[in-house]
Structure 1
Amino acid sequence: MRRGRSSRAGSDREHSGSAENRVGRGSADRERARSLRRKVFLVTAVCVTVIAALVGVLWFSPLMSVRQIAYVGDGRVTEEEVLRVLDVAEGTPLLRVDTGAAARRVAGIPRVAEVRVQREYPSTVRVTVMERVPVVFFDSPQGQHLMDAGGVDYAIEPPPPGLARLVTPTPGHDDHVTQVALAVLEQLPEEVRFQVSEVAAPTISNISVTLDDGRVLVWGSAEDSERKSAVVSVLLTQPGQVFDVSSPELPTVK
């Protein structure tokens, strides 16, 4: 009986020691975790402070300010036109240049189709402009208007040689008939499109195309344009003056 009590006492002491060890290890782990969190906090605080100081230097310092504006264009929009609306003064810190607002101002030039304004450290603002490409022109009392593939009327001037005339009741970007006529022109086979002298669309269902040699393609509506385009290439190899593909299943030649 005494040995039994002694064994139980020894066992109790062992369990007590294990519990104390676990408590001790838990306290040490918590202390290490707190120490790690303090170190992470200190490192983060230092990094934030350094970044804030660097941003402050770049924001206010003349060390990285605009000293050059580089213009890259592909047509008739001049550097002088761009600089007038860009509104970026030399000496402005690069970080304070609002590239988005500057790009929107340049995009307001009628001939500009796309524009990109970039900061190039340490001291350059680069402006890259792509101009609109005319696909048709239309006549008005003011003169001949150039229009791009999106229907944007962007200039009044003589059209370049070979440009097709657009004839619609009210040509313009927001005019549905204009957009349909331009879509038909885009659907034509490339070898045919380069021969077009006029696209006429009194209505959206009565579209016709006149070629340089006087031949006429009666297109009808814009429906089934892909099938009509495939038929046209074959049909134009036949003699005739009027090629009607308004019903691509039953094309006719007159």
Structure 2
Amino acid sequence: MSSGGGVDGPATPESDEDDWADGDPAEFESAEPEEIVESSAARRARLRRGRAPRESRFRNAWRSRGIRLGVPAGVIVLIALGLVAWFTPLLAVRTVRIEGLAAIPEQQVQDALQMPEGRSMLRLDTDALAERVARLPKVRSARVQREFPSTVQVTVVERTPVLYFDSPDGTHLLDCDSVEFAIEPPGPGVPKLITDHPGGSDPVTKAAVAVMAAMPVSLRDQVGVGAVVARSVSDIALELRDGRTVLWGGTVDSARKAAVVGPLLSQPGKVFDVSSPNLVTVK
């Protein structure tokens, strides 16, 4: 019985029902495993994050150590190979090839080289070898090169006569540098030099050699069995093989003289004066 207010029923059960109404029991129960799964995943991620730097540091340290060990090892190998090539017959000279010879016997060049037997290619002084060959009187220049693994290449440029002159001790040959390089017969096609004091150091002789170098090949061939008469450095005449004479003068304006002498020689005459190339004459 109740007076005025009536009976609402027991309070506790209603409170319990309200508590469960605020949240589904199934949802509450399922939340706990999800939180556990998420925590495990997060823990593994943290472990991975913690392990990755350590592994990376380990790899870097190993790589760095490998580099530090590899560099000295490589240097040692290179040094060892260099010593083997330097001191052993591995790269020894086995072939000497000589090119450019015409008047010089090959054995004469071999003797001048004095090539040490069994010497490593790396230990050869090519400049010194070339200098030995260049000392031969008939050699104008020489070059020595290595051709690995075992060949030495020698290239020789010989001196060739452009003039000769007679002397009490024989016939002297002069090359294009005015060098007296041999006393022997000149061979065909080399003109004779006629001057008062012939010789490699004589200024008149040098002027005559310079004129021979400046004249065109066609004129040089016509002088071949003739003579070059040099009375002074400015008075040089060419006696051609057919008896005609070209008055060349000195070495000044030689290029211009070489240009006008060809057409001039096509004219009849005996004496062709090109000493003043702007005013040539024929007699």
* Both structures adopt the same fold (TM-score exceeding 0.5): yes
Aligned to 2:37: none
Aligned to 1:167: 194
Is residue 245 of structure 2 the alignment partner of residue 236 of structure 1?
A: no
Q: Which amino acid aligns with 1:233?
A: G
Is residue 138 of structure 2 the alignment partner of residue 111 of structure 1?
A: yes
SS of residue in 1 equivalent to 2:267: coil
Displacement of 1:217 after TM fit?
0.8
How has the CA–CA distance of structure 1 residues 238 and 92 changed in structure 2, closer, same or farther, with 3 Å as cutoff?
same
**Cα distance in 1, alignment partners of residues 200 and 281 from structure 2:** 33
Q: How many residues matched?
A: 220
Is residue 269 of structure 2 the alignment partner of residue 250 of structure 1?
A: no
Q: Which amino acid aligns with 1:191?
A: S
Aligned to 1:29: none
Is residue 81 of structure 2 the alignment partner of residue 54 of structure 1?
A: yes
State whether residues 68 and 90 of structure 1, in contact with CA within 8 Å, keep that contact through their aligned partners in structure 2: no
1:109-165 per-residue CA deviation (whole Å, 9 max, x = no partner) reads: 111122222222222223222211221111111111121111111111111112111
Displacement of 1:40 after TM fit?
8.0
Aligned to 1:210: 239
Aligned to 1:5: none
Displacement of 1:175 after TM fit?
3.0
SS of residue in 1 equivalent to 2:212: helix
Root-mean-square deviation (CA, aligned residues, Å) is: 2.4
State whether residues 181 and 207 of structure 1, in contact with CA within 8 Å, keep that contact through their aligned partners in structure 2: yes
**Cα distance in 1, alignment partners of residues 233 and 69 from structure 2:** 70
**Cα distance in 2, alignment partners of residues 47 and 222 from structure 1:** 64
- Correspondence 1:16-165 to 2 at 5 A: 45-165=72-192
Aligned to 1:220: 249
Displacement of 1:45 after TM fit?
4.7
**Cα distance in 2, alignment partners of residues 189 and 125 from structure 1:** 38
Structure richer in strand, relative to its length: 1
**Cα distance in 2, alignment partners of residues 201 and 46 from structure 1:** 73
SS of residue in 1 equivalent to 2:82: helix
How has the CA–CA distance of structure 1 residues 50 and 232 changed in structure 2, closer, same or farther, with 3 Å as cutoff?
same
Displacement of 1:213 after TM fit?
0.9
Displacement of 1:44 after TM fit?
5.8
How has the CA–CA distance of structure 1 residues 152 and 39 changed in structure 2, closer, same or farther, with 3 Å as cutoff?
farther
Displacement of 1:39 after TM fit?
8.6
**Cα distance in 1, alignment partners of residues 212 and 241 from structure 2:** 14
Query: Which stretches in structure 1 are left out of the alignment for 5+ residues?
Result: 1-31
**Cα distance in 1, alignment partners of residues 136 and 99 from structure 2:** 15
- Correspondence 1:4-23 to 2 at 5 A: none
* Percentage identity across paired residues of the two chains: 50
**Cα distance in 1, alignment partners of residues 89 and 194 from structure 2:** 56
Displacement of 1:206 after TM fit?
0.8
**Cα distance in 2, alignment partners of residues 52 and 73 from structure 1:** 38
1:88-116 per-residue CA deviation (whole Å, 9 max, x = no partner) reads: 12211221121111111011111112222
**Cα distance in 2, alignment partners of residues 98 and 246 from structure 1:** 50
Larger radius of gyration: 2
Q: Which amino acid aligns with 2:176?
A: A
State whether residues 239 and 246 of structure 2, in contact with CA within 8 Å, keep that contact through their aligned partners in structure 1: yes
How has the CA–CA distance of structure 1 residues 247 and 51 changed in structure 2, closer, same or farther, with 3 Å as cutoff?
same
Displacement of 1:194 after TM fit?
0.7
Query: Runs in 1 of length 4+ with deviation above 6 angstroms?
Result: 38-43
State whether residues 208 and 228 of structure 2, in contact with CA within 8 Å, keep that contact through their aligned partners in structure 1: yes
